[in-house]
Amino acid sequence: MIPESSAQEIRMRAKAIAMRSDKSPAVRTDAASAFHSADHKEGRLTQAELDIFLEKHMKDSPLLARLPLPHERINTSAANQIAIPINHFDCGFGFPVLMEAVAVFDHYGVVPGQLPPNSIAAIYSFISYLRSERVQFSIRLFRECFSMRSIPDSGTKIFRGHLYFGCRGLKVVNLANKIANWSERYLIFEGNLGLLPVHPQVRDEAAFGSSGLDGVEKEIFNFFKGERLDVTHYLPLLPTLEDVHAQDSKYHSAELLC
């Protein structure tokens, strides 16, 4: 007979294997320190690319967007300064940053530069979908639909603190093919960044998985479980959708977004 302690250990290992059946690397809890201390590559953008970006995305913005200086990298940040890949702006990201997106960045302790463009597209498509259905956003719903994983650099397998969101309760479709060198195509943004986190934070891994749902949120999740969110539909739709919580001042509290 297998001792109960050994049997319990076997069950725990089996559960862990089942949870990682997609062979995705488990999330690294040292992502914040890795992103901060890693030897990131120098930016690749040219002045011509900056000019095109400014015309397309920053016409009426009070923020300054500039090319990084020789010593600045994608992990460069300060109180009112942050580096952001320009590909993110074609995936829903923009200024001012939507409060739902701020809640995601804050909850997971990440900054936009840690996430690939497709993860940004997934976040903003989900926000657009909820708004289109007049459903209030919450981190609980987000955690039920997405799981966080780590991205080692291809080839080198070096972990530089980059993470991504994998789909779980629904599917995000028509994402762009892998975007090469996205982490080297960034600009430095300066000015009033609002509540957007500029420094990665250490978070307990327990905060990354499903937290369980009950009541109305469980009914809502069951309604859209298995839904296929087409980014080519939901990202262009997002600017036309009213914030479900726009008239509710309580929405901007961390408690409601949890």
pLDDT (tens, 9 = 90+) of the chain, 258 residues, equals 434 444 555 444 444 433 333 444 566 768 888 898 888 989 999 999 999 999 999 998 999 999 999 999 999 988 899 999 999 999 999 999 999 999 999 999 999 999 999 999 999 999 999 999 999 999 999 999 998 888 876 666 788 899 999 898 899 999 988 888 999 999 999 999 999 999 998 877 666 777 777 788 888 888 888 899 999 999 999 999 987 765 444 433 334 455
Q: Is 30 within a domain?
A: yes
Going from the C-alpha of 251 to that of each of 105, 146, 174, 213, 243, the distances in angstroms are: 16, 22, 31, 19, 10
Provide the pLDDT for residue 245.
65
Evaluate whether 91 touches 124 at the Cβ level (below 8 Å). Answer: yes
128 assigned to some structural domain: yes
Is residue 195 one of the residues assigned to a domain?
A: yes
**Residue 151 token pair:** 């991205």
For residue 86, being part of any structural domain is answered with yes
Question: Is position 11 within any domain?
Answer: no
Task: Give the domain extent around 65.
Answer: 24-257
pLDDT for 30 equals 83
Q: Does residue 13 lie in a domain region?
A: no
With respect to residue 36, please indicate whether it lies within any of the assigned structural domains. yes
In angstroms, rounded to a whole number, what is the distance separating the alpha carbons of residues 122 and 119?
5
When divided into structural domains, the chain yields a total of 1
What Å distances lie between residue 227 and 147, 169, 191, 209, CA to CA? 16, 8, 38, 19
What's the pTM? 0.82
pLDDT for 159: 87
User: 81 forms bridges with which residues in the sheet?
Assistant: 78, 190
Q: 75 and 113 in contact (C-beta within 8 Å)?
A: yes
